[in-house]
Amino acid sequence: MKLQGKTALITGATGGIGFEVAKQMGAHGAKVIINGLNKEAGEARLKELTDAGVTAEFYAFDVTNEDLVNENVKAIGDKHGLDVVVNNAGGLGGRSRFEVMTTDFYRNVMALNLDSVFFVSRAAIPYLKKGTDPNIINFTSNAGWNAGGPGAGIYGTSKAGVHAITRALAKDLAEYGIRVNAVSPGTIDTDFHKQIKSTKPEVFQSWAKNIMLGRLGQPEDVAAVVAFLASADAGFITAETIQIGGGQALGI
């Protein structure tokens, strides 16, 4: 996989899928810049990466804060340049049905999942224009296709927005040779499902029965796809959403 010499910024990379993406991209020769909110967790993850021989740095900033994104992406770009941006940061943010949903809850979920993609991508574009085989990879979700379950409707809405902004960015940036794609994971065994895994293990275990391959996905499964999309091996793939796992998975 052709990632040697590339610099990749991976948001929300102090755990779960994001950290596995950093590990795999680093193992294939990329310099990885990991982002997260928790400085202690970030430094611990950074040590894991560097102990494994990966060239890496950690930047702690909130990807929903426009000013902090601009400041930190500029610092990263000025120091290292940028070839790849992986917009992995995101989350459910809790559950609320629309009838009782507060405006603050709505805005927080949209900011975490959609505003962050806009802020980070916009700040990175000037550096990506100067990058080698530059590309952006966004994280959406199967909830973006099926609108999420009860109480997760605004999460599904925000992830559907990521589908749309991926296609829009691809059209906007194609003339500069910047590819833009998205990955849409199904049920992946990470801390995202920690609560239900601990309180309702029988429900968690039953999910595998609705997945065609008969098992839950692992972070490594998703990270392998992201590393491929970031590489020159995927040099003619853009404006695509790759759906990974799930009961109704369709590779696009």
Task: Mark whether 127 is an active-site residue.
Answer: no
DSSP structure class, residue 10: E
Hey, what are 231's tokens?
């590489």
Whether 229 contacts 241, CB under 8 Å: no
Question: What is the C-alpha to C-alpha distance for residues 90 and 162, in angstroms, rounded to an integer?
Answer: 11
Q: What angle do CA 55, 242, 106 make, to 5 degrees?
A: 90
* Closest C-alpha among 167, 141, 17, 150 to residue 86: 17
Of 59, 106, 127, 155, the catalytic one is 155
In this structure, are residues 43 and 16 in contact, taking their beta carbons and an 8 Å threshold? no
Distance (Å, whole) CA 54 – CA 106: 38
* Residues belonging to the active site: 155
